[in-house]
Amino acid sequence: MTDLDGKPLSKYHIVTVYFEPIMESGERIAFVIAAYSVPLGAFALHDGIRDEVLQCCFGEQADHVRGILEMLKSSLHDFFQQHGSLYGWRSPLGGVLMGEISTTYSETLTGALNHAVLRTASFSSLIEETE
């Protein structure tokens, strides 16, 4: 697949992991964004919520919630390293749900992460491409 300029696009899987601060409330916050490509062996994670929003939403508990976010990122990373995808990942914590794994096409892994941010994580920020 190519873009409009004829540049090749790679296939990536993207998924959002949601945190439900009040369990069974139905309120979910995009917590972690993941993007990966099995053929390329590429994997990246991005926070689904900016630090200033985390502080605003959780106040004195923000550092604790940040610890939960980092633990989830570690769990996702370890699972990907062992299995080569995120299919079958289960959160080590209650109140954390993985969204549907979907497909996107992009020139870069960062571009794929940005697609996921735009789709699901309004409290996050886009990532600048680096060369």
Give the count of domains, the chain: 1
Mean pLDDT, rounded, for 25-45:
90
Determine the Cα–Cα distance for residues 55 and 22; give it in Å rounded to an integer.
17
pTM for the whole structure? 0.86
Q: What is the pLDDT of residue 37?
A: 94
| Secondary structure (3-state) at 49 | coil
- For all residues of the chain together, what is the average pLDDT? 89
Give the range of the structural domain holding residue 23, as residue numbers without chain letter.
10-120
Largest CA distance in the chain: 50
Q: What is the C-alpha separation between 107 and 100, in angstroms, rounded? A: 22
Question: Which is more confidently placed, 31 or 128?
Answer: 31
Label residue 131 by pLDDT band (50, 70, 90): low
In this structure, of 41-45, 89-93, 114-118, the range with the lowest mean pLDDT score is: 114-118
Is residue 129, in this structure, part of any structural domain at all? no
Q: Render pLDDT for 79-103 as a digit per residue (tens, 0 to 9).
A: 999 999 999 999 999 999 999 999 9
Residue 17 maps to a domain? yes
> Whose CA is closest to 89, among 125, 22, 36, 51?
36
Inside any domain, residue 22: yes
The Cα–Cα gap between 16 and 46 comes to: 10
